[in-house]
Chains A and B, each alone.
Chain A
Amino acid sequence: QKEVEQDPGPLSVPEGAIVSLNCTYSNSAFQYFMWYRQYSRKGPELLMYTYSSGNKEDGRFTAQVDKSSKYISLFIRDSQPSDSATYLCAMKSTGAGSYQLTFGKGTKLSVIP
């Protein structure tokens, strides 16, 4: 079983739709969770960072973490064509010497005008 599972898509939605992107993980040591957005041929851009179970909202984006189910989600409200990109979830464990982020393989999203 991979440490982090993420549906690769592709996911295609009409403009204005609510998008739900998800990752599951198996390592209970993961305590910090991030979502990155990556446009084609560009570096990933950090969108959301959270470390507690529950919801965190930033504009049209909401990150949700359920540590008991080992499940995280990113919701995008009122999706726009400019949201078309690959979305990567990333996780990090706690503890001294722990620097590595473990990434999902990414979900490719297309928002159709």
Chain B
Amino acid sequence: SQTIHQWPATLVQPVGSPLSLECTVEGTSNPNLYWYRQAAGRGLQLLFYSVGIGQISSEVPQNLSASRPQDRQFILSSKKLLLSDSGFYLCAWSRGGLYNEQFFGPGTRLTVL
């Protein structure tokens, strides 16, 4: 069966500090990978998705970036965090191709002070 991991689970960072969140998927090959942010009262917002190694599509312009160095690894980064970057960050995967169901990880709660 497939498993998705995210770490860290919780993170408190000062404004202007860098960020690196990691997501890995087990039990599948060539998945599509996604980063979402969930902010209070605003629902789930797709930030990035990737259909393969090194292939990243951005849905929302911002000071975040994503990378996919390996088939089942997806990383969300920032060089300098803003207060507005606080939120619950969720990684998700779907089967490669145009499969529609997406499966979410446990999330990282980020607080920027």
Contact = CB atoms under 8 A, between A and B. Distances in A.
A49 B103 CA distance: 12
B74 interface: no
Given A43-B90, A43-B107, A105 B102 contact: no
Contacts, number: 53
Contacts of B43: 88, 103-106
Interface residues of A, number: 23
A29 interface: no
A88 B59 contact: no
Interface of A: 32, 34, 36, 41-46, 49, 51, 88, 90, 92, 96, 98-101, 103-106
Interface of B: 6, 32, 34, 41-44, 46, 49, 51, 57, 59, 88, 90, 94, 98, 100-107, 109
